[in-house]
Amino acid sequence: MDYESGVIEVADGVYAWINENCATNAGFIVGDDGVILIDTLMTPTLASKLLTVVKDVTSKPIRFVVNTHFHGDHVYGNQYFLPAPILGHENCRIELDTKWDANFSRYWTREALRPELERINKTLPDVTFKDQMSIWLGDREIRMSYHGRAHSDSDILLYLPEEKVLFVGDLAVNKTIPAFPDGHISKWVDVLSKVETVDATTFIPGHGPVGGKEEFGEARDLLKLLHNEIKKAFDDGKNEEQASKDVNVGKFSVFANQDRIPQVVEMAYKAYRGELD
- Taking the C-alpha atoms of residue 184 and residue 277, their distance in angstroms, rounded to an integer, is 8
Looking at residue 213, what is its pLDDT? 97
Question: What pLDDT, in 10s, does the model give residues 229-261?
Answer: 999 999 999 999 999 999 999 999 999 999 999
Q: How far, in Å, CA of 198 to CA of 220, rounded?
A: 14
Instruction: For the chain, list residues with pLDDT below 70.
Output: none
* pLDDT at res. 277: 83
167-179: pLDDT as tens digits: 999 999 999 999 9
pLDDT, position 77: 98
- Looking at residue 29, what DSSP letter applies? E
Would you give the distance in Å from CA 223 to the centre of its chain? Answer: 15
Asked whether 53 and 22 are in contact (CB, 8 A), the reply is no
- Tell me, yes or no, if the pTM score tops 0.95: yes
**225: exposed, middle or buried (Cβ count in 10 Å: 0-12, 13-18, 19+):** middle
Please give the Cα distance from 176 to 77 (Å, whole number).
24
CA of 135: how far to CAs of 36, 139, 175, in Å? 9, 10, 30
- Asked if residues 104 and 82 have their Cβ atoms less than 8 Å apart, the reply is no
CA end-to-end span of the chain:
35
Domains recognised in the chain with CATH numbers: 6-272 (3.60.15.10)
